[in-house]
Chain A
């Protein structure tokens, strides 16, 4: 495999050109300026790539932290699979879309808010305060609850596995080039790992950090910055210590060699695994 590395900056993500591995034709992995459309009900985010517009997300909010919404002044890495669902905000809908804000560089050119009266979008949070206003029903469309994430379900699973002294692997996902755990879901994963380790007085808690790469739709490979695997592992280990996991039980390592998944779900390689061994 011929690889040409274009280093963007000290410690930053690198871009390489690969001639043997390509993302599937239905996959869209690209970096572009996000655009806000001031649609009815809630704004939506789109991005243009090679003459086509793609729908990224509606405005949500952290309480519904399922999407890390784009930011003007920053480009966004889009990873998703094209679907034939009806367009939203004029954009092609992507399945399993993952968005990563390119936070290390400011891109002042990414500064577009477009009128969107022609589009009507629904989101989990309305523009005005949550709930039903006095004059009618909220326009919000709440996300369906995930039963596996209910406190009762988590507690039951934890007690069941602890009783059987089962090894439990927790996976903490990350945005591209990021060591940030912004959302309750990711935070809860680390929380649960700590709880399980403390509950079982775990013999060993193995924390392994990884960094990933993405096969872009233009054939380039974009790799997370060097050292990020170590930083991720150390940060998670610090949190586990803070939450009561004894240092003597922690084994912290990282894999510096970047990984990808052939252009589909590459984001799964950006992770830290926490293996709790009772």
Chain B
């Protein structure tokens, strides 16, 4: 079986023809997958982009996209970046470490991606030296500079419930006299992965059993300034902006160095683009086509285009990733393919059905569920077809906390000391170490330290590394983390099954 592929090249479109069953990568001609800001191309309505596991399918629901003049693709500020710099179609509208390194090699560090404002470990590092960009080049991390103490939406200072002390500073930024915590403009620098700007219909929704309330914090949800509707906290790792519009406006200032705020029209165009792009792996070098007749129905980007959003998926009516029954005893052209597909089906069963003791997760165990709570992966990764969480999705899994996270010696470490009259972090107490205080840099609350908004699970083969701080280099390391964190006692086969399952999403 042969399928026509459309692949975006550096300055235009390359069309390749491939064998969709087993040897797609051999016959696909790719010159470059990078979409350069300001270099107009037409992104086709449907395209496939290569990655190490196969190809990622990208669908523009409203048809081809002319990037020339489009604010998502044009460099609007002074540093040559556009939104697309960090949200590349080939990388599931995120940015993989492989791609970052390719850009470094291709441009010798001159690509706007490496603007020191946030593409270096600290803005005062000399541009173009590999060591100045170590967190971006080694972990795929962008610097996020947050004012300390935090300020509310009106710019008023929030008195924090805890103190922050820099106890390790490999980048030097948090102790910098110009950019650090004790500078004239006190700032906390944390380092995070760019998030996916795709499948957002499934993300920008909040689910609350009580309408106007944030079901977790018991406080009112924010109001969308245009629609007047209540909105959740699904955007950005720390949920500091409540809407896509606000996120775009902030990103233009902080990441693109615009001279003037974006116009309403530009923001509308950006949000309209983000709201119509869907991504998912559509071919896997081991599993073959993920979108052929008889493939599991949740696979491929068209499942997301046609799927219904706002569906809780931790149930048998609308299971998170529907059914993998067709691969339980899988068809396949080779024994190897059949075995891989069956492994994927077993991996989904583990995800959906294997109970574990979920414990010490702030804003999950601490909201009345109980600590521990015995259930499956799907209790948190519950949104139908994307596996994120919109209840809202803030929680502290532990990846940011030194005691519970993967060791990250390249990251700064902060000592958090909660005040005596404040509610402490529910499981770490009043004094602990963190790589990133997360949501607490927005709210100033001790119970929020480490909490971040959960990501969706699609396009994972296109956008490693994982977790907000890039601490899991591969899907397998994600599985290993959960196995350790929740004492799942997975066998080697089960780990591989879960890894394979996530690699086809």
Cβ-defined contact, A69 with B370, below 8 A: yes
Residue of A nearest to B317 (CB): A131
Q: How large is the interface on B (under 10, 10 to 19, 20 to 34, 35 or more residues)?
A: 35 or more
Residue of A nearest to B360 (CB): A73
Known contacts A62-B369, A71-B366, A134-B316: A104-B210 contact under CB 8 Å: no
Cβ-defined contact, A183 with B368, below 8 A: yes
From residue 382 to 437 of chain B, which have CB atoms closer than 8 A to chain A? 420-421, 423-424, 426-430
Cβ-defined contact, A61 with B212, below 8 A: no
CB of A250, distance to nearest CB on chain B (Å): 15
Cβ-defined contact, A43 with B315, below 8 A: no
Residue of B nearest to A243 (CB): B212
From A43, A45, A191, give the contact of B211 (CB < 8 A): A191
Interface status of B371 (Cβ within 8 A of chain A): yes
Cβ-defined contact, B215 with A69, below 8 A: no
Cβ-defined contact, B426 with A103, below 8 A: yes
From residue 119 to 176 of chain A, which have CB atoms closer than 8 A to chain B? 127-134
Q: Which B residues lie within 8 Å of A103 (CB)?
A: 366, 423-424, 426
Interface status of A3 (Cβ within 8 A of chain B): no
Residue of A nearest to B319 (CB): A129
Interface status of B355 (Cβ within 8 A of chain A): yes
- Distance in angstroms between the alpha carbons of A136 and B372 in the assembled complex: 27
Cβ-defined contact, A127 with B374, below 8 A: yes
From residue 228 to 260 of chain B, which have CB atoms closer than 8 A to chain A? none
Cβ-defined contact, A127 with B355, below 8 A: yes
Interface status of B126 (Cβ within 8 A of chain A): no
Interface status of A88 (Cβ within 8 A of chain B): no
Residue of B nearest to A38 (CB): B374
From residue 179 to 227 of chain A, which have CB atoms closer than 8 A to chain B? 180-184, 186-188, 191
- Distance in angstroms between the alpha carbons of A186 and B209 in the assembled complex: 11
- Distance in angstroms between the alpha carbons of A180 and B366 in the assembled complex: 11
Q: Which A residues lie within 8 Å of B315 (CB)?
A: 129-131
CB of B421, distance to nearest CB on chain A (Å): 4
- Distance in angstroms between the alpha carbons of A134 and B316 in the assembled complex: 8
Q: How large is the interface on A (under 10, 10 to 19, 20 to 34, 35 or more residues)?
A: 35 or more
CB of A177, distance to nearest CB on chain B (Å): 10
Cβ-defined contact, A127 with B421, below 8 A: no
Known contacts A130-B314, A243-B220: A68-B210 contact under CB 8 Å: no
- Distance in angstroms between the alpha carbons of A71 and B360 in the assembled complex: 9
Interface status of B272 (Cβ within 8 A of chain A): no
CB of B287, distance to nearest CB on chain A (Å): 23
Interface status of A59 (Cβ within 8 A of chain B): yes
Cβ-defined contact, A129 with B352, below 8 A: yes
Residue of B nearest to A239 (CB): B220
From A62, A128, A243, give the contact of B368 (CB < 8 A): A62
Cβ-defined contact, B376 with A68, below 8 A: no
Residue of B nearest to A67 (CB): B368
Q: Which B residues lie within 8 Å of A61 (CB)?
A: 369, 373
Q: Which A residues lie within 8 Å of B367 (CB)?
A: 62, 182
CB of B182, distance to nearest CB on chain A (Å): 27
From B209, B357, B370, give the contact of A184 (CB < 8 A): B209
Interface status of A21 (Cβ within 8 A of chain B): no
Interface status of B218 (Cβ within 8 A of chain A): yes
From residue 270 to 321 of chain B, which have CB atoms closer than 8 A to chain A? 314-317, 319
Interface status of A92 (Cβ within 8 A of chain B): no
Cβ-defined contact, B213 with A191, below 8 A: yes
From residue 237 to 257 of chain A, which have CB atoms closer than 8 A to chain B? 239, 242-243
Known contacts A68-B368, A73-B427, A182-B218: A191-B317 contact under CB 8 Å: no
Cβ-defined contact, A242 with B374, below 8 A: no
Q: Which A residues lie within 8 Å of B103 (CB)?
A: none
Q: Which B residues lie within 8 Å of A133 (CB)?
A: 316
Cβ-defined contact, B210 with A59, below 8 A: no
Q: Which A residues lie within 8 Å of B215 (CB)?
A: 62, 184, 187
Cβ-defined contact, B371 with A71, below 8 A: yes
Q: Which A residues lie within 8 Å of B42 (CB)?
A: none
Known contacts A36-B372, A71-B370, A134-B316: A63-B209 contact under CB 8 Å: yes
- Distance in angstroms between the alpha carbons of A87 and B378 in the assembled complex: 32
Interface status of A74 (Cβ within 8 A of chain B): yes
Interface status of A42 (Cβ within 8 A of chain B): yes
Q: Which B residues lie within 8 Å of A11 (CB)?
A: 420-421
CB of B422, distance to nearest CB on chain A (Å): 9
Known contacts A113-B357, A127-B376, A183-B368: A73-B426 contact under CB 8 Å: yes
Known contacts A129-B352, A182-B368: A104-B374 contact under CB 8 Å: no
Cβ-defined contact, B316 with A191, below 8 A: no
Q: Which B residues lie within 8 Å of A186 (CB)?
A: 218
CB of B216, distance to nearest CB on chain A (Å): 8
Interface status of A65 (Cβ within 8 A of chain B): yes
Return the CB mask of A50-77 against B: 1 if under 8 Å, else 0: 0000000001011101011111111000
- Distance in angstroms between the alpha carbons of A113 and B212 in the assembled complex: 37
CB of A139, distance to nearest CB on chain B (Å): 12
Interface status of A25 (Cβ within 8 A of chain B): no
Cβ-defined contact, A69 with B369, below 8 A: yes
Q: Which A residues lie within 8 Å of B339 (CB)?
A: none
Q: Which A residues lie within 8 Å of B424 (CB)?
A: 103-106
Q: Which A residues lie within 8 Å of B220 (CB)?
A: 239, 242-243
Cβ-defined contact, A74 with B369, below 8 A: no
Q: Which A residues lie within 8 Å of B201 (CB)?
A: none
- Distance in angstroms between the alpha carbons of A63 and B208 in the assembled complex: 10
Q: Which B residues lie within 8 Å of A9 (CB)?
A: 420
Known contacts A38-B374, A43-B374, A62-B367: A129-B316 contact under CB 8 Å: yes
- Distance in angstroms between the alpha carbons of A229 and B54 in the assembled complex: 60
Cβ-defined contact, B212 with A71, below 8 A: no
Interface status of B68 (Cβ within 8 A of chain A): no
Q: Which A residues lie within 8 Å of B374 (CB)?
A: 38, 42-43, 59, 127
From B218, B373, B375, give the contact of A187 (CB < 8 A): B218
CB of B423, distance to nearest CB on chain A (Å): 6
- Distance in angstroms between the alpha carbons of A9 and B216 in the assembled complex: 27
- 8 closest Cβ pairs, A-B complex: A69-B370, A181-B218, A71-B371, A131-B316, A187-B210, A184-B209, A11-B421, A130-B315
List, sorted by A's number, 8 A–B pairs whose CB atoms are closer than 8 Å: A43-B374, A59-B373, A62-B367, A62-B368, A71-B365, A71-B366, A187-B209, A187-B215
> Which A positions have Cβ atoms within 8 angstroms of B?
9-12, 36, 38, 42-43, 45, 59, 61-63, 65, 67-74, 103-106, 113, 127-134, 180-184, 186-188, 191, 239, 242-243
